[in-house]
Amino acid sequence: MFHRSTSAGYGTASALWNLAYDSGFGVGAAGFGMLAAHSGYPLAFAVTAGLVLAALAPARRDAR
């Protein structure tokens, strides 16, 4: 985000990064807990692994 913005936009980029990180951390933990409570840990970990693998494609594309 910092590479894509000007130095004047660093504050906005930092705020958006922190918002996304903290929101994802909270929502992800709550979602994993609810999924594990209803289906068990093996399925919850499998779904988490699938989400991580699905996120790799856009991350690799963006790295290029």
Domains of the chain: which residue ranges? 7-63
Contacts of 55 (CB under 8 A, 6+ apart): none
Contacts of 43 (CB under 8 A, 6+ apart): 35
pTM: 0.68
User: pLDDT digit string (tens) for 5-20?
Assistant: 888 889 999 999 999 9
Flag whether pLDDT at 29 surpasses 80: yes
Instruction: State the Cα–Cα distance between residues 9 and 2, nearest whole angstrom.
Output: 8
Residue that is written with structure tokens 């999924």 in the block = 35
